[in-house]
Amino acid sequence: MSTKLIVVVVRREHDALLRRLLDAGFQVTEFSSLGGFLRRRSDTLLVGVDEGRLDEALQLIRQTCSTPAEADEHSATLFVLNAGRMVTI
């Protein structure tokens, strides 16, 4: 089974997402970032996921990063990349 890498650019209020991903057993790396996706300082999460759990991870991210109906902005930008395989050393 191949591995996917989900790159999640989220607002700084991302603690709940990080906690939920880790509690669900996903491997997550977090770092601060600055750029144009959210037009402010944000955080980026790198999430290594077996292809069979991709939908589970995406659903968890959608549930946690919901945007209020009155908001003009989005809460997160996601990229799903083929990683081939994940090696832990």
- Domains (ranges, CATH) in the chain? 3-84 (3.30.70.120)
Look at residue 53 in the predicted model and tell me its pLDDT: 95
**Dihedral sign of CA atoms 11, 17, 4, 68 in order:** negative
pTM given for the model: 0.84
Look at residue 47 in the predicted model and tell me its pLDDT: 95
User: If we measure between CA atoms, which residue out of 31, 38, 24 comes closest to residue 71?
Assistant: 38
Tens of pLDDT along 46-67?
A: 999 999 999 999 999 998 887 6
Look at residue 68 in the predicted model and tell me its pLDDT: 63
Judged by average pLDDT, the poorest of 9-13, 30-34, 42-46 is 9-13
Q: What is the mean pLDDT of residues 22-49?
A: 84
